[in-house]
Amino acid sequence: MPQLQDKVAFVTGAASGIGKEIATLYAQEGAKIVIADLNQAAAEATARELSPDGSRAIGVAVDVTDEGQVNAAVERTVAVFGGVDILVSNAGIQIVHPVEEFAFADWKKLLAIHLDGAFLTTKACLKHMYAQGRGGSIIYMGSVHSKEASVLKAPYVTAKHGLIGLAKTVAKEGGTKGVRANVICPGFVRTPLVEKQIPEQAKTLGISEEDVVKKVMLKETVDGEFTTTEDVARVALLFAAFPSNALTGQSLIVSHGWNMQ
């Protein structure tokens, strides 16, 4: 029995990496999917991969920092699929610099994508989840950096910690209406976001790319392994399919033991 039969899932940043894997697993589990991504061509291509005739997945171009675009994308979701049951707020970027060199514009850009994006998509989806009267599941893509810091990542660590506060608040407000909110906290996953960081960190830290992987990214794991997109998608399925409010306001780390808080 599919675990998400005919649930409607709005997944941001789903044209690549972790979001794409979550959308794919949700589709296999019977959900109808909205691939909401800045990259329109990739969003539409991903939707076609999941549903060639467009009846069970659509791609929607959306910048999660733009309130009008977010609201329009959620309204389109409801118009096409009749509601929204699951939000995965996953779109994200990374920018690495030491604090004293961080451009204010880059700080604001990163916080806007991770935090404004989470707030705007939550606000737009909650309205429908409450009105539908069948509850819902909101999932934020945090990180091990929701729990601890690394050098060079001030706005990312700040934003990922902030998502836990948002999830706890939404969990409290949504409780009586059956809307759950949780955070997934992955370790390093080899997606385009991480591939880009390896040479950047090597340059900033003055070490080889191999050492960035071994001595920085995977140093604290129990087995020197990357977390995979599949690992993260399984946790996203657990949070989406869980049948009661027993699992809400939580943050679950999936990191090969890098962090055990």
Catalytic residue numbers, as ranges = 156
| Minimum CB distance to ligand NAD smaller for 153 or for 180 | 153
Subset of 49-88 contacting ligand NAD (CB under 6 A): 62-65
- Judged by CB under 6 A, the stretch of 96-104, 118-126, 147-155, 187-195 that binds ligand NAD is 187-195
| Minimum CB distance to ligand NAD smaller for 177 or for 196 | 196
Catalogue the E-assigned strands of the chain.
Answer: 8-12, 32-37, 57-61, 86-89, 136-141, 179-186, 251-254
- Judged by CB under 6 A, the stretch of 15-23, 98-106, 124-132, 147-155 that binds ligand NAD is 15-23
As a whole number of angstroms, the distance between CA 30 and CA 84 comes to 14
| Other beta carbons less than 10 A from residue 102's beta carbon | 17
CB of 18 to ligand NAD, least distance (A): 4
- Judged by CB under 6 A, the stretch of 11-19, 26-34, 72-80, 204-212 that binds ligand NAD is 11-19
Long-range pairs, 39-44, Cβ under 8 A, ≥24: 39/15, 42/15, 42/16, 43/14, 43/15
| Minimum CB distance to ligand NAD smaller for 30 or for 220 | 220
Size of site (CB under 6 A) for ligand NAD: 28
As a whole number of angstroms, the distance between CA 126 and CA 135 comes to 9
CA distances from 36 to 42, 71, 129, 179, 189 (A): 10, 12, 18, 21, 21
CB of 173 to ligand NAD, least distance (A): 23
Q: Is 27 near ligand NAD (CB under 6 A)?
A: no
Q: Is 191 near ligand NAD (CB under 6 A)?
A: yes
CB of 37 to ligand NAD, least distance (A): 5
Q: Is 17 near ligand NAD (CB under 6 A)?
A: yes
Q: Quote the radius of gyration of the chain (alpha carbons, Å).
A: 18
Q: Is 12 near ligand NAD (CB under 6 A)?
A: yes
Taking CB under 6 A as the criterion, the residue among 133, 192, 206, 243 binding ligand NAD is 192
Residues in contact with 147: Cβ distance below 8 Å, sequence separation at least 6, in sequence order: 161, 185, 251, 253, 259, 261
Q: Is 111 near ligand NAD (CB under 6 A)?
A: no
Query: What mask, x for binding ligand NAD by CB under 6 A, covers residues 126 to 165?
Result: ---------------x-x----------------------
CA distances from 70 to 67, 74, 182 (A): 5, 6, 21
Chain residues in the site for ligand NAD (CB under 6 A): 12-13, 15-19, 37-39, 62-65, 90-93, 113, 141, 143, 186, 188-189, 191-194
